[in-house]
Amino acid sequence: MVEVTVTPQSSLADRPGGGGVRGLSPSQLVTLRAWLGGGQGERFQSRAFFRADGAGGGGPALHAALGGSYSGVWPGGGVWFLQPDTLFRRLVKREGGGSPFRVRLEVLEGLSMGWGGGEQPLASCEAERWYVGPGGGGVPVREGRVRGALFLPP
């Protein structure tokens, strides 16, 4: 049985997260897809291609991605390389830091490039990524053409 995990399950967005897949056949080729829905109906996703090791495991923290949205070893690559499905969209946390982004991680058979909706994941899990830690807050920034938020610790 294939299983995908992410550690820690809940953390700040700028912290690298470890994760892995186990239960694959040795040398099996899989796609690890991370995705989330934005605040206005858009979707952001990344994908990385991995070949399972001799024990049937793999993942971004220990093994180099063979291609996709990134290549090489990136422990937080699934989240750090999220890109919009629609051009010119940005991943913005509109309601501040009071709730996390919920990122869905899925393991797909072989090299998967599309988003056909008919793809059945071999395994999936969910992770939370926060922009503000407990007790922290965000301050809107508007200076000239710069727009954003400054997230501060307690």
**Alpha-carbon radius of gyration of the chain:** 17
What type of residue sits at position 50? F
- Please report the pLDDT score of residue 53 as a whole number: 92
Place of tokens 């699934």: 78
> How would you classify residue 117: left for phi > 0, otherwise alpha for psi between -120 and 50, otherwise beta?
left
State the pLDDT confidence band at 78, using cuts at 50, 70 and 90. Answer: confident
Distance between CA 100 and CA 31 in Å, rounded? 25
State the pLDDT confidence band at 136, using cuts at 50, 70 and 90. Answer: confident
The answer to whether the beta carbons of residues 15 and 39 sit under 8 Å apart is no
Q: Kindly state the helix (H) or strand (E) to which residue 80 belongs, with its residue range.
A: helix 77-80
Closest CA to 138 of 125, 126, 153, 127: 153
User: Domains, the chain, ranges and CATH?
Assistant: 3-150 (2.60.40.2240)
pLDDT digit string, tens, across residues 18-72? 778 999 999 999 999 989 886 667 788 999 999 999 999 988 877 889 999 888 8
Strand, helix or coil at 32? strand
DSSP state of 77: H
The answer to whether the beta carbons of residues 153 and 136 sit under 8 Å apart is yes
Distance between CA 50 and CA 106 in Å, rounded? 13
The answer to whether the beta carbons of residues 30 and 120 sit under 8 Å apart is no
State the pLDDT confidence band at 75, using cuts at 50, 70 and 90. Answer: confident
